[in-house]
Amino acid sequence: MYPVRFSGARAEGGVIHLEGPWFQGRVEGYRKEGHAFLRVFVYHRPEDAGKGSWVVEGLAPLPLFLEGGRVLGEGVGLELDLDPFGLRFSGLRAPLLLAGALVPVGLPEEMVRLSQEGDALKEVLDGLPLGSGYGLLLAEEEGRRYYGLGERTGFLDKKGRRWTNWATDDPHHHPDTDPLYQAHPFLLAKEGERAWGLYLDETWRTVFDLAFTDPETSLVYTEGPTFDLYLIPGPAPLDVVRAYTALTGRAPLPPLWALGYHQCRWSYPDEKTVRKVAEGFWERDIPLEALWLDIDYMEGYKVFTHDPHRFPDLGRLAGDLRARGVKLVAIVDPGVKKEEGYPVYEEGRARGYFVRNRKDEELVGAVWPQPAVWPDFTREEVRDWWGGLHRFYLERGVAGIWNDMNEPAAFQVEGRPAPGKTLPSTAKHGDRWHAEVHNLYGLLMSRATFEGLRRLEPGRRPFVLTRSGFAGVQRYAWVWTGDNSSYYEHLEMSLPMLLNLGLSGVPFVGADIGGFSGDADGELLCRWTWLGAFYPFMRNHSGKGSRRQEPWAFGKRWERCIREAIRFRYRLLPHLYTLAEEASRTGLPLLRPLFLHHPQDPRAEAVHDQALLGEDLLLAPALRPGQTHRLVYLPQGVWYQAFTGEMYASGFHPAPTPLEGIPLYQRAGAAIPFTDPLPHTEGALPWRSLVWQVALGEEIRGRLYEDEGDGYAPGLEALLEGGFDPVSRRLYLRLKDPNLARRLRVEARLLGVRTLREATVPWRKEEDILLDLRAGEAEAWL
Ligand code: MIG
């Protein structure tokens, strides 16, 4: 590799143009929703000058000018070196941009092999005159930590390892497996309380070597022919997340039901089994929102079909379940069975919609359907077609779509085992190599599905779950973390995995509760369901060959505990839905690492086994069998144990971890809306019963968002405000609630308050004191 050099820089039309004998570049300023961004773009082929983006859109220009070596614009600044090219930005010193293929780090085995086959590599890389690839060197700072990068194994801080973006189906991943299904070339760097972000808008394989090969240096590498980098100034971690989601897009508000409890298995083999599982929930009074159909509902793994014997009438099944509030979700894989007379194949072939091989023939491989071909989702007409096919499911009452195997995963290609379990880099999507668009496959498939559902049922909010995705996938789908195993280690790892996905802009995420591969047991499933009650996406799923893991699978002892966890989830729904609405507006995830709200606290920086739900609830799950206690770290502020009401100051404390529950803390001053558990969410809004759980504080505040739970009618907001004066012991609460008259019960639970001297409203005592809030106002002396 050799340094990129420029001989001059000039400002023109608010853009800084970089010129050199081999390389050209631009620094551009942008603005969106009050956030400023800098784009540093370097290329060497004239045809790349106008490179677009698959993800970023709707930016307004922010004019830049040059002052000495500094690039300045309103609210942003960057220092440049031209020869060799380097930059300084916020806390980032990036002394060198290197060009040329970086064989030891970046290149996949397949490409190395191709390179040994003469000029094939040159062809893959489109005959680049200078080889290919760029790597930006970052000077490391001791106190810097890195987060983001989407879905990853490991702990919270991603420094010290090398991470690759190359969507990969790895069904048996381990603590150090990389890469996995998602590709998010995004970093959030934190240095003390300041943070900055970096998004590499490149869809080719990219590599983030974070002080791994060399502790003094990190490397951000792309194997593609351009280097397209967005810099996000911060200055707080919260600003970086808000700005990054302004840049790459936000998740739309999901239908309320998506936040309920989901039950899945590969597979419930026939209609009878599906009905029996539903009965199992109803008999035991366990809430159930949706049952999921895995690949065996299809006839011969053909998408947009159902098996005539095992699932003779999907519509009737969906209708019967729906009558009791339960939705059906069906899996749709991208691999289309190549079979004469199968209309999806015939139509796709006639229109030339499938991915082609390097000889420009239909690329034939094998996945669950054998043989199989793959739609080319990079083309809009293919996405439109695919989206429209979903009419099949909607007509049969299916409520949501589950996209799997969309890395894309392939078992074989052209009669041979598929290297890397995917399509060859030389496959063609239109005139692009698979190498360029591989990472986009899941994103674009989800987009096709989401847009199709929205077109077909414009009055409803689509629900799509995807396994693979790229930066921005949150605009179209929820994400689950693929094939974990029934290990306590994977229970533990799920939290940092979901937290980093959240920081990477994907708020609606979950891991398979109970673990997908391997055999769960009652205690593991109980612990996992309690943690899962806080996953934005709460689904129990298990794989073929593993023990069944419905809530009652391990006997009464465990059923009790699991039922409690699922019921707790339903109590929490008013708050979860409020946070979901916030996520759709601000990009902030539901589940957040401690440091996001406590950036000044060094002890919060690496905590991987606790999380915040919103800003006000802190959870600290039990993660080992037989565990009776664990250490909990509470950041700045006063906290109340959310079940027992005990008060804690910031710091460490040993907490008991009983099976019925989870160590959960509520920030002093926070009011959280809870409801009574319902069997499902049909007709639940507006909440008939609301209990605002108040953790006393000098200032008290809580928010509730409500709408119809689906569709696009505007929503309403309820606010609880007030305060507690510790000297006079006077508590004042005022509720502004436009739906007040429609509720049967509205109360404030005074967390940890056991006695009350006097109140202006009716009150009663359970474990804690409950004040009637139907008058919209209450005063009490404690
Ligand atoms: O090759 O559809 O991650 O959730 O149950 C396995 C069967 C394919 C992988 C998914 C898993 C799903 C399974 N699928």
Q: Would you say the CB of residue 296 lies under 6 angstroms from ligand 1? A: no
Q: What is the three-class DSSP state of 445?
A: helix
Buried b or exposed e, range 374-384, using 16+ CB within 10 angstroms: bbbbbeeebbe
Instruction: Give tens-digit pLDDT for 323-353.
Output: 999 999 999 999 999 999 999 999 999 999 9
pLDDT tens string 620-657: 999 999 999 999 999 999 999 999 999 999 999 999 99
For residues 777-781, average pLDDT:
98
Catalytic residue among 404, 682, 706, 710: 404
| Closest-lying ligand 1 atom to the alpha carbon of residue 404 | 10
Q: CA of 229: how far to CAs of 3, 71, 132, 187, 472, in Å?
A: 17, 15, 17, 11, 15
Q: How far does residue 404's CA lie from ligand 1's centre (Å)?
A: 7
Atom of ligand 1 nearest to the CA of 541: 4
The Å distance, Cα 762 to ligand 1 centre, comes to: 54
8 Å CB contact between 547 and 514: no
Q: What angle do CA 349, 351, 355 make, to 5 degrees?
A: 60
Q: What is the pLDDT of residues 134-165, one digit of tens each?
A: 999 999 999 999 999 999 999 999 999 999 99
Q: Which residues contact 104 (CB under 8 A, 6 or more apart)?
A: none
The confidence score (pLDDT) of residue 405 equals: 98
- Between 224-228, 519-523, 710-714, the lowest mean confidence (pLDDT) is in 224-228
The reported pLDDT for the residue numbered 111 is 44
Choose the residue to mutate in 264, 404, 406 for probing ligand 1, maximizing ligand atoms within 8 Å of C-beta. Answer: 404
510 Cβ below 6 A of ligand 1: no
Quote the pLDDT of residue 69.
Answer: 87
Per-residue pLDDT, averaged over 588-617, amounts to 98
Q: Which of 209, 289, 376, 407 is an active site residue?
A: 407
pLDDT at 117: 42
What's the gap in Å between 687 CA and the centre of ligand 1? 36
Mean pLDDT over residues 226-250, rounded?
Answer: 97
Is 412 within 8 Å of 338 (Cβ atoms)?
no
pLDDT of 365 higher than 80: yes
* Percent of the chain's residues with pLDDT above 90: 92
- The pLDDT of residue 115: 41
Mean of all residue pLDDT scores within the chain: 95
236 to each of 34, 189, 432, 664, 730, how far by Cα in Å?
Answer: 15, 10, 39, 26, 36
Pocket test for ligand 1, best of 483, 516, 541, 549 (most atoms within 8 A of CB): 483
Domains of the chain: 2-248 (2.60.40.1760), 670-772 (2.60.40)
Per residue in 674-715, pLDDT tens? 999 999 999 999 999 999 999 999 999 999 999 999 999 999
Query: Measured from the CB, is residue 480 less than 6 Å from ligand 1?
Result: no
Note the pLDDT tens digit of each residue in 540-590: 999 999 999 999 999 999 999 999 999 999 999 999 999 999 999 999 999
Percentage of residues in the chain having pLDDT higher than 70: 96
Is residue 779 flagged as an active site residue? no
Query: Two tokens at 703?
Result: 């928010």
DSSP conformational letter for 781: E
* Interval 479-498: pLDDT, tens: 999 999 999 999 999 999 99
- How far does residue 69's CA lie from ligand 1's centre (Å)? 53
Active site residue 407: yes
Residue 431 among the catalytic residues: no
